[in-house]
Structure 1
Amino acid sequence: MTEEDKLRTYRGKRHFDRTREPSGEQATRRQDAAAPAPGDEPVFVVQIHDASTMHFDFRLEVDGVLKSWSVPKGPSTDPHDKRLALPTEDHPMAYRDFEGVIPEGEYGGGTVIVWDRGTYRPMSHDKKKRPVPFGQALENGHATFELHGEKLRGQYALTRFHGREERSGGSAKPTWLLVRKATGEGKSTGEGKSTGEGKGAGKGGGTPDPRRARSVRSGRTLRQVAEAPDAPRWEPDGGEKG
C-alpha cells in the first residue's frame, strides 16, 4: 500500500482550506519513507486533543505514516494501569508537529497540544526470539517497544483485545490496550520525567491531568494555546507562524 493510499481516510475527513492541519502532500521527514535509516529510530508523539471529548492521541511512525490510537485516559507510567486505545486513521508524518486549534464544525474541532514526543525502539520478537518487523507485529495484534520521550520513557506494549469492539460513529472498532511493561520485581523500565502534571494525576503521577499538562513544543497548556493568537499553527504552504 502506498503512502497516498494510507492517508486517503485522513484526507477524506478534512477540508484543508478550512483547517491548518497538514495535508501530508508536502515532503515527509524521509524521502524514502519505507523504513528508518540504520541507527535512525522511528518517532512517536502524544498529543492532547480537547475535542467533543477530551483524549490523548498516541502516534507511532510505521512505514512512512503515523499509526494512531485514541487513548481516552492517556498513557500511564504505572504498569498496573491498562489503557484503552482505539485505532484511528493513519496521519501524515508532519502531524507530529501539529499544535493549534482545529476550527469548530470541522472534523476533530478543538485544541491540540504536543504533550510528548521522541523516538522509540521496536522490541517485538517471535517465539524463536527473532525480531519481528513492527508493522507485522501490529498486524499480529501485539507489539512491544521502548519509548525515548521527554516525558515517557521505558517499555510499553500495544495489544489487540480479541472478542471486544468499541462502538464509535455507528461502526465497531477493534479494542487495543496500551500498557507500561514491568521488569524485574514489578518495576517498570526507565524512569523518565513524572507525567503527573498537577492534581488529578494517577498513581505515582502515572497519568497526566490533561487540562494542567503543558506542551513540550510551546510550554503552553490547552487553554493557553486556545487563547493565544501567536500559538504555533500550521500553514497550508508548509510554513508555520507563532
Structure 2
Amino acid sequence: MTRLSVNINKIATLRNSRGGNNPNLVETALDCERFGAQGITVHPRPDERHIRYQDVFDLKSAIQSEFNIEGNCQEQKFVDLVLANKPAQVTLVPDALNQITSNHGWDTIKHQQYLRDIIPLFKEAGIRVSIFVDPDPKMVEAAAKTGTDRIELYTEGYAHAYHKNRETAIAPYVQAARIAAETGLGLNAGHDLDLHNLKYFAVNVPNLLEVSIGHALICDALYYGLEHTIKLYLRQLEDAGLERDFSS
C-alpha cells in the first residue's frame, strides 16, 4: 500500500497565530502516528511562519514513524537543520524566499550539477533523498542523473484538472511514473491531493511509494476529526491497492 505521510505545517500555523503551544505540535504528530499515519512531514521556512527550527528537533526526538523534512537546500540553515536531525528522508524543494507554498519542481537539467553536488551531502549522512519534480519526462529523466533516491511528483496540476477530465489529468503522471521506474527512481507525490482525487491517483500511478498530504487533510479534520480523517485517507490508499491487485 502507498504510505501516508501527514504534513503538519498547518497545525503549526494555528499554534503560531496565538502564541503559546496550543495546539501542541508534537502531541498532534504522535496522535497522527497513533491514528495510522506512516510518516510525518514538515516544511520549515526561513521566516518560521509555521514550522520552527526547534520543532524539528522536538519532533525528531519524539516520533517513531518515518520523518520527512522538506525545504530549500539552497539555504544553508536548512541544510544544517537536516544534517543535525538525520530524518529518514529529506525532500529538496526549489522554493523562493518568502514563497507561500511550493508551486513548481526542480529544473533538473538547468540545476543538475548543483543537485549532483548537494545530494551526496545528505546521502552520506544516511538520509534518503527525494527531489520535487514536475511530471515532465525530460525533468524525470534528468532527475535520475542527479543521484537522488526518489522524486516527488508535484500534483497541483492533476488536482486542478481532476474534476474536468481525470483521464487527461492523470496521463502525464502515469508517464512520469513509468520513466521513474525505468530509471530506478522511487516515487512519491504531493500537493493538493485530497479525499476526492487521491484514490484515482493511487490506482493509476504505478509504483507510488508515498504521498505527503497536509492542507486538505487538516481542513477535512475540522469537520471529521483528526482520527477519522486520517482513517479516511488511509482507506483511499487501501482501496486503491485492492483495486490495483484485482485489476492485475
TM-score by length of 2: 0.25
Please state which structure has a larger fraction of its residues in strand.
Answer: 1
TM-score by length of 1: 0.25
